[in-house]
Amino acid sequence: MKNCRSHLLEIILLMILFSISSNAQPICGFDKLHVQLLKSDPNYAASIDVNEEKIRKYIILHPQKVQTTKTSLTTLYTIPIVIHVMHTGGSIGSIYNPSKTQLLSAIEYLNEVYNGSYPGTIGAGDIQIKFELAKRDPNSACTDGIDRVDASSLPGYVLKGIDSNPNNGNNGCPELTLKNFARWEPADYYNLWIVNKIDDKDGTIPGQQFTAGFAWPPGVISSLDGLVMLATQMKPGEKTLPHEIGHALNLYHTFYPSTNYDDCPSNIFCSLFGDRVCDTDPVTENAINGVINFECRTGTNPCTNTPYSENTESNYMAYTNCHNLFTSGQKDRMLAAMSLSSRESLVRNDNLALKSPKADLTVSNPQLSPHSVAPGNIVTVYFAEDNNGSLHANPNYVNFHLSSDNILTPGMNGDIYLDQYFVNQTLPPFSQTNVLSKQITIPSSVAPGTYYLFFAADGTNIINECIEDNNFNTAIITVTGACPDLTIINSTISPTAALAGSNVTVYFKEDNSGDINAGPNYVNFHLSSDDVLTPGLNGDIYLDQYFVSQTVAPHSQTALLNKQLTIPSNITPGTYYLFFAADGTGVINECDNTNNFATAIISISDPEGSAQALYRYWFDNQFANAVSLNVANSTNYYLQNSISTNILQPGLHVFNINFKDVNNKWSSIVSSFFYKFNNTPPVGTPRYEYWFDNMSATRIVKNISSTPGLLLLDNLNTNTLNTGLHTFNIRFKPDGKHWSSISSAFFYKMPALPTGVPKYQYWFDDKTQDSVTNVLTSTNNLILFDSLMNTSGVGLHTLNIRFKPDGGLWSSVSSSFFYKNPVTDINNNTIARCVYWYDNNWQNPNLVYYSGQQNLSSIINTDATVLSAGMHRVSMMFRDERGTWSSVVSDSFNRAAVTTPVCPFNNKLFVNQAFLSNNAGRQWQVNTGTGFVNLANGTNYAGVNSDSLQIINAPTSWYGYQYRCILSDGNASVNSTTYTLKFFLIWNGGSDTGWENPANWSCNTLPDGNVDVFVNSGVLHFPEVNTTGTCRSLTASPGVNVTIKNGAALNITH
Amino acid sequence: MSCSYCCAQIPQFAVVRPDGTTYICPSFDSAYNKAVNGDNIYLPGGNFSLSNPISKSLHIFGAGYNQDSSMATNITTLNSLTIVQGGDGGSIEGVLINRINPNTAGVIFGDNLNQTPFSNYTIKYCYIAGSIRFSMPSSNITIRNNYFGYAYAYGGTSISGAISNSFISNNIIIGSDLSSENPNAYLQVSNNIFFWYTNQGAIAFSFASQSTYQNNIFQTGSVQWFSQNSNFYNNTNGYPSGLGNIYAGTTFELFDGTFITPGPLNPWGWHDYDVHNDYHIKPSSLCKNSGTDGTDRGIYGGTFPWKEGSVPSNPHIYFKQVTQQTNNSGQLQIQFKVRTEN
């Protein structure tokens, strides 16, 4: 047992320190560390992802746990923590080596925040997670959970503290180096490292923004797991500790991942983006270029266009200075985090971190009676002694002290030792005594007032405990001043039975057990039908009072007093409590006003009762059915009579009788056993009767022959019963006289044989209204193989089917997915056509038809002379017989110069590029401007019914005629590509420059007004028109000169 | 809405009406804008994105995602895809669908669990590089013959969200699980292969409750207890798991004993998925012809057997050659090979 006052002064100093540092600007290092590790360590990223999914699933699976009310006050988890104070050699209590009191007060603040009891807390309130300093260290030795480590040998630590970012060039101590220097097993303890500085800042410079701490979420490797924070921030009211613990339990900043005032986080899926919590609106980090504004924002939240919510602005996970809540969504995540392996291990039952390695005695449930007592009087205390440690606790004393405040300093500051209780038993680990009690006298010297009555386990300090300062518990007691205390003793009444309206006499003494005289006072008398006096209420009747004219000295009593009372004449006869009330008018200021009453019992009768002598009798306990009979008045009455027992059943009974004289005095009651025989002979015929269930009213009676040994074999009709379980009841009267007991038996009425039509019924999806019912042949083992009516709509459908194979009951509905393919009469799908087009001219494509090939390999030769020379693009797509197209494929090509026309240039060959079948008929057609007509072989045409049409000696005036081939096999017809007849000549300049010289032209032919002309570069001579030249169009390559001599002309007709 | 043409180098997107009317558009956006309910959109090879969610009932065909099979067309890649109300009755196939970042799904249905239930959509022959997320209540969804890469989002869940009454079959799923936030999911999950994803340590378990899992092959275990009230039947596992299922030895023993060519073990002692391996069932394997319908377990059994190359169901051009320039007579030669698909 230790002195409990030692930390008071420190608390006061701490409060002063807090006010000094109130303009501090702490921020958190979580975001930078977390994001950096996400990018650099895929294992960490994956672990965070997996944990997120586990959390999501946990919340889904445990809504009853995570949605507890905020007032539940039920701790679900207690997390053991160890505080590594990484000081730099300073004494305990110095700035970087906080005192134990400071550390304990910070932990107490943390717990108040997390159980919702911190003043002003709103939101989710009780998170149901508690934090407790370890009691057993990793070596199973005692610990107070505070590990003080001189870390001045760590590189860079004394000057710079710890680096939150290894790349910041600060040259402080790396995080992992510090943690490796002092770490307790992370699976058993949650590690807190209290450091001098983070990134060269200790949080003491007013107005300076600094990193106050950081913590890793579950999922980080165990060597990094834990919380780092500045020693200067480890104090009550400073939110760094509850904030960082939030990170340790999987909370993000409310603004995550925003990094600036104009950077709104996505909130499309609130459980997946932002802070992963759905009851916090997306908000920006209220920062400009990393400088935080700690004010709580009001007005419109630009991320939602709604007003800012207190759920984000007053949140412990924000940077604001108005923090007072966690939300329910955050509570969900924190409780779910406790299911993750690195947190679950902390709270598992076999973790010994919170189990003291020695005995650990405490006092639980301290009570006392009375709570108010005068000096010198006795009070009884009740309590249990607990052993929360891992070793047995030997017998010991529990001491009792009185203190005017809640700090016990035995023998000092007015604190008074009262007494002790010897706990004469050995307490096993983690056990407690039964409720113990002890009468204790409050010293007469104690001044009136309110006191703490201390219960001190191991009050003589004979038990070796790890923790000595948790032996205490208290109860509040009020010590009164000197006072009288009146009670009634020796209370009697005579007679105890009286008629209404008659007089009775009460006898009593008034006793003063107080410490001073009790002046004259009244003793009041009341009648009550029960033992609770409520004067004037509930039928309680005030009768009279007695004036005690004398002064009753302390601890004395009056002589026996008496008072005649009149019972009210209109009172209902019965038994009553007659109450005696000392100081009935309340004129005496007593120590205890609750002990003034005493009672006596009185029986009150109806005064109208006759003076007739009589007797009354009754059977058994049936007094209510007593029979009264008058008798002649006589001093000596002799009764001899026969009394009917018809109302009684045969068997054992009690006869009760008493007598009354003319003075209404009753004799005692005389009782006798007697046995009533059943002398009624059985009547009737032998029979039995039966019924079903509880329907005895409808029982069936059947006569049988009288027999001493009946063997019944009968078929009973159950037509009136429903299918299912029933009870058959039967009894027998085989001798016609006595019934047997009822014999009952369960039986199951089987359903009637089905009479319906065997059938099955099916429907698709949820369209029960469209169900189809088909009749079956009755069978007890149906194998169905059928094609069912199809349903509409290509795609996934559900077939639902049920059966009634015997015409009786339906089976359950069986459901199966099936996929409906498009309806087509094309079994062997083949490529049907190709369309291709040049450049952007997709609206005028060329068509090529195919048939019969699922896997087509083909070559198309197309006429590209319609295109200008240069780069072009050809695009094509294919269609199958079912009408489905391929993707578009494209390719580029160069439409090169045309250098080799076919001679004679007015002969042409067109090749059909539409294929239907080899047996299809071919018919070439021409369109001269008035529509296509069939061609016939003749002077200018050959092959009009083949794949190749030859045009012979066509006049150039046919320029522009269109040709196509129609293929028809009797079932279908297709058209080939449409070809346009063109004529062109190429200047070769092989002889000279003369336009008019045929030798300079391909095919040795001069162009006319229906012939296109191409002049390419690289020829020996460029053309010169000497007289008159004519052509339909002229196309010249770059660098080509076409000269028209003076007086000459070149007519270009198009 | 016009469908303008800009220049020769722009890829060409075909929009085809049910009556055959065809439009060629220069971008996915313009094709989408041109399309109306019931249309087919044929995507060329290339990497594309769509500016807006799909809110029309469209059937989208890509040119395939397998480099070997789509050499002639190039593969079709979408950066992501979002389908919202109005997209009911549509489908997509033959596309590699990426995700915007590792924290998001590649295919997202809706954005609000309170939306009107969405129904009837098919995803097949696709490579889902991320995952499919149902953020609106969705039913009658068919997800078949797809390849799912490892899904980082949603804790490595390939298919997650408010999906119910749907059919998931013949998929290859890497290191991920299925999940439905609908307590009455009623999924049919059949003939899939679930691979362990070694480096991430993900486990192949399934989380959709009230569902039927059959004929699947789990490289690890079908962790039955995560899927409440579901029927795990006739699956093959690398862990002893579930009644009526085959425990085929440890994970690598399972693959060696089950598949024709499971490929080599990786440095961690597992078989990784490789498109060039042969995941047909060995004749000696218990998975052979032991599916509930008498076909094999795994992706080559069931109603929709795996198709080599995973090309979509429209005609597939697998060879093309266009001469670089016309000949002296101005003739252009185009050579191609094309095959019908089912």
Taking chain A, what is the end-to-end CA distance rounded to the nearest angstrom? 120
* Identity of residue A89: G
A879 chain-B contacts, CB cut-off 8 A:
315
Find the helix or strand (DSSP H, E) in which A115 lies. helix A100-115
Distance between CA B217 and CA B238 in Å, rounded?
Answer: 8
Which residues have a Cβ under 8 Å from the Cβ of A1046 and sit 6 or more positions away? Answer: none
From first CA to last CA, the distance across chain B in angstroms is: 33
Q: List Cα–Cα distances, B270 to A50, B222, B240, B285, in angstroms.
A: 20, 17, 18, 19
Selecting from A50, A819, A862 the residue whose C-beta is nearest the C-beta of B142 gives A819
DSSP alpha helix (H) spans, chain B: 28-34, 153-156, 251-258
Nearest CA of chain B to the CA of A99: how many Å? Answer: 43
Q: Is A115 left (phi over 0), alpha (psi -120 to 50) or beta?
A: alpha
Nearest beta carbon to residue B44 from set A45, A46, A887: A887
- CA separation for the pair B315, A887 (Å, rounded): 8
- Which residues of chain A lie closer than 8 angstroms to B142, CB-CB? 795-796, 819
**Cβ atoms of residues B19 and B40 within 8 Å:** no
Q: Which member of B156, B166, B324 has the closest CB to residue A49?
A: B156
Are A194 and A98 in contact by the 8 Å Cβ rule? The answer is yes
Which of B86 and B21 is assigned the larger pLDDT? B86
Sequence-ordered list of residues with C-beta below 8 angstroms from that of B297, at least 6 positions apart, any chain: B191, B215, B216, B217, B234, B235, B236, B281, B287, B290, B291
**What pLDDT score was predicted for residue A1035?**
86
Lowest mean pLDDT among A411-425, B121-135, B154-168: B154-168
The 10s digit of each residue's pLDDT in A319-336 is 998 999 999 999 999 999
Residues of chain A contacting B338 with CB distance shorter than 8 Å:
831, 834, 855-856, 878, 886
Tell me which of B30, B124, B332 to substitute to probe the interface with A (most A C-beta atoms closer than 10 Å). B332
Other Cβ atoms within 10 Å of A716 Cβ, number = 11
* Sign of the alpha-carbon dihedral angle for A682, A685, A688, A689: negative
User: If you compute the radius of gyration of chain B from its CA atoms, what whole number of angstroms results?
Assistant: 21
A824/chain B closest Cα distance in angstroms: 12
Spell out, as residue ranges, where chain A has pLDDT lower than 50: 1-22, 64, 67-73
Q: At what angle do helices A42-61 and A30-40 cross, to 10 degrees?
A: 110
Between A82 and B250, residue with greater pLDDT? A82
Contact at CB, B42 and A899, closer than 8 angstroms: no
Nearest CA in chain A to B71: A889
Q: Parallel, antiparallel, or unpaired for β A541-548 and A521-528?
A: antiparallel
Strand ranges across the sheet with A416-423:
A372-373, A472-479, A449-456, A396-403, A416-423
Question: Is there a contact between A887 and B337 if contact means CB atoms under 8 Å apart?
Answer: no
Helix, strand or coil for residue A1054? coil
Residues on chain B touching A57 (C-beta within 8 angstroms): 155, 179, 207, 226
Instruction: For A378-419, give the secondary structure using H, E and C.
Output: EEEEEEEEEECECCCECCEEEEEEEECCCCCCCCCCCCEEEE
A192, A227 in Cβ contact below 8 A? Answer: yes
Report the gap between the CA of B259 and the closest CA in chain A (Å). Answer: 28
Inter-chain residue contact A46 with B337, CB threshold 8 Å: no
**Is A888 in contact with B13 (Cβ distance < 8 A)?**
yes
**What is the phi/psi pair of residue A712, to 5°?**
-105, 130
C-alpha pair distances (Å), A283 with each of A300, A302, A311, A1038, B112: 11, 8, 11, 66, 20
CB-CB neighbors (< 8 A) of A876 in chain B:
320, 334, 336
Q: Which residues of A touch B331 (CB under 8 A)?
A: 861-864
Q: Where are the alpha helices (DSSP H) in A765-877?
A: none
Sign of the torsion formed by the C-alpha atoms of B83, B87, B88 and B90: negative
Q: What one-letter code names the amino acid at A547?
A: F
Identity of the residue in A796, A885, A891 whose CB atom sits nearest the CB atom of B314: A885
Residue labelled with tokens 């002598």: A613
Q: What is the pLDDT of residue A909?
A: 77
Is there a contact between B325 and A896 if contact means CB atoms under 8 Å apart? yes
How many C-beta atoms surround the C-beta of residue A504 within 10 A? 21
Contact B315 A878 (CB under 8 A): yes
Question: Best interface-test mutation with A: which of B48, B200, B334 has the largest number of A CBs within 10 A?
Answer: B334
Contact B324 A889 (CB under 8 A): no
- Complete DSSP assignment for A721-754: SPSEEEEEEEEEETTSS-PPPPEEEEEEEPPPPP
With contact defined as beta carbons under 8 Å apart, do B250 and B238 qualify? yes
Min Cα distance B178 → chain A (Å) is 12
Contact in structure between B176 and B131 (CB atoms under 8 Å): yes
Q: What is the mean pLDDT of residues B250-258?
A: 69
Which two three-digit tokens encode residue A66? 């995570």
Q: How near does any CA of chain B get to the CA of A268, in Å?
A: 7
Q: What are phi and psi of A63, to 5 degrees?
A: -60, -30
Cross-chain CB nearest to B338 (options A873, A878, A902): A878
Sign of CA dihedral A955, A957, A962, A967: negative
**How long a stretch of residues is chain B?**
342
Question: Cβ A864–B322 below 8 Å, yes or no?
Answer: no
- Closest CB from B16, B303, B338 relative to A819: B303
Interface probe, candidates A876, A886, A899, chain B, greatest B C-beta count within 10 A:
A886
* A925: nearest Cα among A893, A902, A949, A908: A949
The answer for residues whose C-beta is within 8 angstroms of residue A614's C-beta and 6 or more apart is: A628, A629, A630, A631, A659, A660
CB A317 within 8 A of CB A330: yes
Sheet holding B316-322, edge to edge: A855-863, B331-339, B316-322
β partners of residue A646 = none
- Give pLDDT, residue A990: 85
In chain B, what residues touch A793 (CB-CB under 8 Å)?
A: 120
Give the Cα separation of A394 and A425 in Å (integer): 7
Positive or negative: CA dihedral A1004, A1005, A1006, A1007: negative
Position B182 confidence tier, pLDDT thresholds 50, 70, 90: confident
pLDDT attached to residue B152: 63
> Does the pTM exceed 0.90?
no
Whether A798 contacts A817, CB under 8 Å: yes
Residue A965 sits at φ, ψ, to 5 deg, of -115, 130
- pLDDT higher at B155 or B263: B263
Q: Which helix (H) or strand (E) holds A547?
A: strand A541-548
Q: How many CB pairs under 8 A join A and B?
A: 229
* DSSP 8-class letter at B154: H
Q: Are strands B167-169 and B132-144 parallel, antiparallel or unpaired?
A: parallel
Which helix (H) or strand (E) element contains residue A525? Answer: strand A521-528
Per-residue tokens: A247: 């990170």
From residue A399, alpha-carbon distances to A1, A367, A470, A474, A489 in Å are: 11, 14, 14, 11, 36
Q: Where do the DSSP E strands lie in B180-277?
A: 188-190, 193-195, 212-214, 217-218, 231-233, 236-237, 246-247, 259-261
**Quick one: which of A640, A672, A670 has its CA closest to A653?**
A672
Cβ pair A796:B140 closer than 8 A: yes
Cβ contact B329–A901 (<8 Å): yes
Tell me the CB-side half-sphere exposure of residue A541, using CA atoms within 13 A.
14
Phi-psi region of A319 (alpha: psi -120 to 50; beta: other; left: phi over 0): alpha
Residues forming a β-bridge with A775: A759
Are B322 and A45 an interchain contact pair (Cβ–Cβ within 8 Å)?
no
Contact B335 A858 (CB under 8 A): yes
Mutate to test the interface with A, among B326, B327, B328 (most CBs of A within 10 A): B326
Tokens 């029982």 locate to A699
Put simply, the answer to whether B43 touches A887 (Cβ < 8 Å) is yes
Q: How far is B252 from chain A (nearest CA, A)?
A: 23
Nearest CA in chain A to B209: A61
